[in-house]
Amino acid sequence: MSNIADTLRSTYESGTTRSLAWRRHQLEQMNKMLTENEAAFLEALRTDLGKPAVEGFITDIAFVTGEVETMIKKLKKWNKPERVGTPMFNMPAKSHLVPEPLGVVLVIAPWNYPVQLLLVPAASAIAAGNCVVMKPSEVSAATSALLGQLVPKYMDPSAVSIVEGGVPETTDLLSQHFDHIFYTGNGTVGRVVMAAAVANLTPVTLELGGKSPVIIDESADLRVTARRIAWGKWLNAGQTCVAPDYLLVAESKQDALVEELRKAIGEFYGADPHLSDSYGRIVSPRHFDRLESLMAGGTAAIGGDTKSDERYIAPTVLVDVDPESQLMSEEIFGPLLPIIPMKSVADSIAFINARPHPLALYVFAENKNVVSNVLARTTAGGVTVNGTLMHLTNPNLPFGGIGESGMGGYHGKAGVRLFQHLKPVLTRGTKIDPSIAYPPYTDRKAKIFRRVL
């Protein structure tokens, strides 16, 4: 690991990565890797997660190529010095913010979207002018192996490296000196990453997770609401960091909502989701066992079926939920959806605010005052109104958490800026050099200073 870090450090110090042409070529090569090997990536995603081909294309392949195409298009503009204002007392002068790369960046990715969540932050770091070490998750082993094989073939190995392995390899990587560490995963490991970064005072970005709530007001269109919740929840079999984790629904609407969810599940996955080509699987036996045990926190109104040999858990809606159960105390990260009836939106807001700030929050309401109230009185990493997940698909909106759900945001320009230092530069002219700025400080000068400062 030290050899890898030293090689990348040497490349960075050579100035290779500061060239916009080099950055553009690396980004083009990343997209070329994905498009030329699309079938292989989709097969690896199917092996790891039972991910349907269309879903894998949309969420892992097209998501990355779209982000990277935007970076290529905006590369020159985003890396151009930005002119800012200059106060009168600095005159004659001009001021700029000059984007410069940080150096060598480490990106540690999770298993649930193993292509997207590795390559998008890595692409952002490259577009910013850095060298990058990529660490894919060993849990999504097939995708990790494919990335390990292809990245060195398509990208500059002196500046872009990929390291496969598990905890020992990650621990060794974290002991090296990096200029930024980007980690996506759970809070427990996030604390380990942050503690390791302290040794070198390395800045970190943590994309964590938590329990992303959904508020459903009496004014919501239940058919549309159910379809959009079902899509966001059961995409990737619920293994999404911003998936709806639990529903807070007006008491009078609970039964109707359950029926609309039942219809939506039938429309999406048929009478038996186990037979559907559009529904994925749980990533590992360990995660399957954890999810199966969480079902004890409520009663299955829909679904509840499992097949351990296939790591299959049906789309499941749970009612009569115990608020003190593990189901409601830890992030579900699977296809279980608890519903909790609430007397009012104010009660829903209080319920959310009594818990750690979520990575995402969703509110469904036709009443604009309800939406405004929720937005004003809650805090979350990001919000979609009358929808789920969609806020993270807009490259013009930074994606990230707050508090226990993470720190720092990326995507689009925000992702490039994350891996840069905006260096303040003030340049003074020399043709005019007013003597008022220099001693001796007379009464006349003092009066002028008080007037202009």
Contact residues for 112 (Cβ-Cβ < 8 A; gap 6+): 49, 140, 236, 239, 240, 241, 283, 333
> Which listed residue (241, 260, 310, 324) is catalytic?
241
Alpha-carbon distance of 399 to 302, in angstroms, equals 32
Other CB atoms within 10 A of residue 69 CB: 14
Are the C-beta atoms of 426 and 231 separated by less than 8 Å?
Answer: no
**Tokens at residue 166, please?**
């598990």
Are the C-beta atoms of 102 and 419 separated by less than 8 Å?
Answer: yes
Alpha-carbon distance of 118 to 184, in angstroms, equals 9
Are the C-beta atoms of 129 and 76 separated by less than 8 Å?
Answer: no
Beta strand 160-162 with 336-342: parallel, antiparallel or unpaired?
Answer: unpaired
Other CB atoms within 10 A of residue 3 CB: 9
Are the C-beta atoms of 400 and 415 separated by less than 8 Å?
Answer: no
- The full DSSP string for 14-29 is HTGGG-HHHHHHHHHH
Nearest to 211 by CA among 404, 408, 398: 404
Residue holding tokens 């916009």? 20
Cis geometry, peptide bond prior to residue 315 (ω within 30 degrees of 0): no
131 has catalytic annotation: no
330 has catalytic annotation: no
Question: Crossing angle for the helix pair 20-36 and 38-49, nearest 10 degrees?
Answer: 70
> Which listed residue (67, 207, 260, 331) is catalytic?
207
Residues in the chain: 453
**Tokens at residue 286, please?**
């360990």
| Residue 64 CA to its chain's centroid (Å) | 13
Alpha-carbon distance of 373 to 326, in angstroms, equals 29
CA dihedral 90, 92, 97, 103 (to 10 degrees): -90
List the catalytic residues: 207, 241
